[in-house]
Amino acid sequence: MPVHTPYIPPSDLLTFLHVDEWLIVADKPAGLLSVPGRGPEKADCARSRAEEAYPGALTVHRLDMATSGLLLFARTPDVQRALSMAFEQGQIEKAYLADVWMGPEETSGLIDLPLIADWPNRPRQKVDHEIGKPSQTRFEVIDRHAATSRVKLTPLTGRSHQLRVHMAELGHPILGDQLYAHDVARNMAPRLHLHASQLSFRHPGTGEAVQFLSSCPFDIP
């Protein structure tokens, strides 16, 4: 069972990479909630910081608190609906960078393992081949070291903790993962080595194909 410690929001700022009349692209630091949690001490989050800077900013999707990287906000309800639908229909391509224990032998591949909430051990998720929801992740090995590898992960579905569970199930947990990594991998990094590095989609206001990138904030051990 995970150890529950008091929530302390990071001092890092939510960085705004792109702002226009339709949407906002922000770079979230690790340790910051995407949306408010329970209790006044968890009111500080990416959404509240975006709303403070740009009143009316609306949540489109979320990142795990421990994950850093690109986060998208809408500036009107119509754009929020359009972007949310684009996510649901797989029209927004997301890519992540992760450092993992050892690494797959294959250079690239597809992970196809159905996931479901592990209710007795929330917020953990687990693989369930009988009633789990379809979940797919493409991986590509970018760099290899003695005991670690850097991989690019492209989720084809958007299940909670999908990338973390899929890599752990392959036997290559993400470094610093407090929920799914074994002790060695968990202690190899001071934070979860998972970063949302790329968002590509058709802009709901202009119709143009756009791509946003965020450089990886951590080094591979």
* Domain boundaries defined on the chain: 15-213
Mean pLDDT of 181-190: 97
The answer to whether residue 52 scores a pLDDT higher than 50 is yes
- Which pLDDT score is estimated for 10? 67
Mean pLDDT of 85-106: 96
Amino acid at site 77: P
CA 140 to chain centre: 17
pTM of the predicted protein model: 0.93
The answer to whether residue 144 scores a pLDDT higher than 80 is yes
Catalytic residue (choose from 64, 78, 112, 118)? 64
- Which pLDDT score is estimated for 38? 83
DSSP β-bridge partners for residue 123 = none
- Which pLDDT score is estimated for 13? 86
The answer to whether residue 12 scores a pLDDT higher than 90 is no
**To the nearest whole number, what is the mean pLDDT of the chain?**
94
The answer to whether residue 1 scores a pLDDT higher than 50 is no
64 is catalytic: yes
- Which pLDDT score is estimated for 107? 97
Mean pLDDT of 89-109: 96
State percent of the chain over pLDDT 70: 95
H-helix or E-strand containing 28? strand 23-28
Q: In the CATH scheme, what is the code of domain 15-213?
A: 3.30.2350.10
The answer to whether residue 100 scores a pLDDT higher than 60 is yes
158: burial class by Cβ within 10 Å (0-12, 13-18, 19+)? middle
